[in-house]
Structure 1
Amino acid sequence: MFRRFFAFALLIWLFGFLWFAIALPRPLPDDVHTDAVIVLTGSQGRIEHAVNVLKAGSAPRLLVSGVDREVKPKEFAAEFSVSPRLMACCITLGYQAYDTHSNAMEAAQWVSEHHAGSVRLVTADWHMRRAMLELGREMPADVRVERDAVASQPSFGALFLEYHKLLARAALNLAGQ
C-alpha cells in the first residue's frame, strides 16, 4: 500500500515538474494595455523589457520592485537609458522588497496607491508562476494581472529549485499561511 502511494506521488511530482519545465509562461503581446507595469528585479532582461513596455505606451507607469538601496534614480536612468522626464513622471523605484513575497506586498501597496485596475507583471518565465501566486495573495481582488514573462534559458538546477519553491508556497497557501 505504501509503495503504491509513494509511486503515485512520485509520478504526480514528475509530471508536475515536466509541465513546469516545458510549458514556461510566455511574453504578453505588445498590443495589450494596462494601467501599470510591475517588474521584479532579478535576472537579465526584466527591467529592460519593462522600460520598453513603458516607452511603447502600453502602460503609463512602472514600479521596479526590489531595487537595491544603493541604486540612485540617476544611476538607474543612466543604466537603462531612461530620460529624466520619464523617470520623474512614470517610474517608481521600490526599495522595500527583498524576495518574491515582499515584492508582492510592495506591488500591492503601490497598485492601491495608484488606483490601478490592471497591471502587467514582468519577471522571468521560470519565476512567473510563483510570482503570480504571491501577487494573487496580496493584490486587491478587483485588479487584473497580466503575465508578461521574459524568455530565458534556465538551468535544470534553477528549474528544479523554483518548482520546489512553488510547491512549498502552494502548500502554505492551502494551509492558510
Structure 2
Amino acid sequence: MIRYLLASLVLAWALGFLWFAVSLPRPAGEVRTDAVIVPTGAAGRIPRGLAVLERGLAERLLVSGVAPEVRPAEFAAEFSVSGERMECCVTLGFAAVDTRGNASEIAAWVEANDITSLRFVTTDWHMRRAASELDRALPPGVTVVRDAVPSEPSLANLFLEYHKLLASLAGGLLGV
C-alpha cells in the first residue's frame, strides 16, 4: 500500500514537472491596463515593461525590487528613459528583496495609486510562482494580465523553480 502511494506521488511530481517545463506561460497581447509592473531579475523584464509603457498600453510603470543603491538617474541612463518619462510615469520600488517581497511591494503600490488593472511582466519560468504570490497579496478586484518574457531556462533552473512553486503553493494552502 505504501509503495503504491509513493509511486503515485512520484508520478504526480514527474507529470507536474513535465507540465511545468513544456508549457511555460506566453507573452500577453496588446491589452491595455492602468499600469505595468516588473519585478527586477532576469534579462528582458525591464525592457518589456518600458516597451509596454511606450506603446501606450499602460500609463504607469512600477519596477519592484530595485537595489537600494540604484539612483533614478542611473536607471534612466541604463534603460534610455527620458527624465520626463521618469518623472511622470516610472516608479522604482526599493522595498522588495525576493518574490514574496515583490508581491507585497506591488500590492501596496497598487492600493496607494488606485490601480484596478495591471500587466505583470516577468520571465516565463518565474511567472507562475510570482503571479501566485501576487494574487494572494493584491486587494480584491484588481485585474492582472500575465505577460511572460520568453527565455531559454536550463533544466536546473526549471527544476529549482518548480520546487519553489510547489513550496509557494503549499505555503498558500497552509496560510504561511
TM-score by length of structure 1 reads 0.98
User: How far apart are residue 141 of structure 1 and its match?
Assistant: 1.3
SS at the partner of 1:11? helix
Q: Tell me what 1:32 maps to.
A: 31
Report the residue type matching 2:116 in the other structure: G
State the Cα distance separating 1:17 from its structure 2 match: 0.3
> Matched residue of 2:125: which SS?
coil
Q: How do 1:149-168 and structure 2 match up within 5 A?
A: 149-168=148-167
Q: Which runs of 4+ in 1 moved over 6 A?
A: none
Q: Given residue 155 of structure 2, which amino acid in structure 1 is its aligned partner? A: F
Shift of 1:8: 0.5
AA matched with 1:70: E
C-alpha RMSD of the superposition: 0.5
Q: CA deviation at 1:71?
A: 0.7
Residue 90 of structure 2: aligned partner: 91
Distance (whole Å) between structure 1 residues aligned to residue 164 and residue 126 of structure 2: 10
Residue 103 of structure 1: how far off its partner (Å): 0.1
Deviation (angstroms), 1:176? 1.6
TM-score, structure 2 as length reference? 0.99
Q: 1:8: which partner in 2? A: 8
> What displacement does 1:72 show?
0.5
1:26 alignment partner AA = R
Q: Structure 1 residue 88: deviation in Å?
A: 0.3
The AA in structure 2 aligned to 1:3 is R
Question: What does residue 45 of structure 1 align with?
Answer: 44
Equivalent position of 2:57 in the other structure? 58
Deviation at 1:110, TM superposition (A): 0.3
- Give 1:140 shift: 0.7
The whole-number CA distance in structure 1 between the counterparts of 2:95 and 2:175 is: 24
SS in 2 for 1:127: helix
Q: State, as a whole percentage, how many aligned pairs show the same letter.
A: 58
Q: Unaligned 5+ residue runs, structure 1? A: none
SS of 2:108's equivalent?
Answer: helix
Match of 1:17 in 2: 17
Q: Secondary structure at the match of 2:38?
A: strand
Query: What is aligned with 1:112?
Result: 111
Residue 67 of structure 2 corresponds to which residue in structure 1? Answer: 68
SS of aligned partner of 1:62: strand
Give the number of aligned pairs.
176
Give per-residue Cα distances to partners, 1:43-76, cap 9 Å, x unaligned. Answer: 0010011001001100000000000111110110
1:85-125 Cα offsets, whole Å, 9 max, x none, are: 00000000000000000000000000001101000000000
SS for the counterpart of 1:103 is helix
